[in-house]
Amino acid sequence: MMMHMAKEVAIAAAYEAGRYIKERFGSLLRIEEKDEHGDVVTEVDHEAEAIILSKLRSVFPDHAIRSEEAGDDGKQSEWQWLVDPLDGTNNFAAGLPLFGVSITLMRQNEPVLSVIYEPITDRLYTAAAGEGARCNQLPVSMNPSRAFTKAKVGWIQGHAVQQREEAVQLRHYIDVSTKRMMRLWAPTLQWSMLARGDLDAIIVYHSEGEDLYSGILLALEAGAAVTDFEGNPFSGAADQPCLIACHPDRLPYFLNMLAEGMKH
């Protein structure tokens, strides 16, 4: 009963925040530098966040919340909401229609509910632990392994990574070894592409943030394998993990690619 309510509230919050974001897209913004790495924040981030937090707190006042702009509310609970009200702020601020809303419910550091909404395409992705993944209420799953000469891979890295030598070398190797390496600067959009089979893999390099676990749960429930760079299954929560997500049949292929790339 609680999980059903949580899903309904999260969906309503994502829709309302997403509609507001879409209305503001393309308008004049007050843009502020968020940190020394070039990340930015706008008033739309704050307003969308306020919409989501208000809805969550009105129904689940005892749950802990960690949100992109407001931070950790300091509450102690086995339940914690992770909120990124505008995943892809840099794209939004630059007029690129590549952004989304991410809401995750964690229970004892494990993701149990994921809601991702893409306002421009009006796609709502949901996943609950053990219940599969859906897009606009229709089931989605990764395609069975298909032959490819070169794969399409999404790259997600943490804000603090920047041009770290190891990251640059690995990115370059992946770029020349694949058909296309995508860096959308909106991680949840890449996770949704993986879930519906439009990407063959996602590589996460020391990433962090409130949007990470919504994507991981969506991928898992769509049938992906999610492991560390050694092939160990990933579970729980970790600080800035390095991960590979792909169809289970293709895991050896991508682990080998990573191993080769780390040598260069």
Report whether 68 belongs to an annotated binding site.
yes
**Could you tell me which of 200, 179, 205 has the C-alpha nearest to residue 190?**
200
Residues whose CB is less than 8 angstroms from the CB of residue 201 and which lie 6 or more positions away in sequence, other chains included: 151, 153, 154, 194, 244, 245, 246, 250, 254
Rounded distance, CA 149 to CA 159, Å?
A: 31
Report whether 84 belongs to an annotated binding site.
yes
Report whether 249 belongs to an annotated binding site.
no
Residues whose CB is less than 8 angstroms from the CB of residue 146 and which lie 6 or more positions away in sequence, other chains included: none
Task: Decide: helix, strand or coil at residue 56.
Answer: helix
DSSP assignment letter at 233 = B
Task: Decide: helix, strand or coil at residue 31.
Answer: strand
Binding-site residue numbers are 68, 84, 86-87, 211
Binding-site residue numbers for Mg(2+) are 68, 84, 86-87, 211
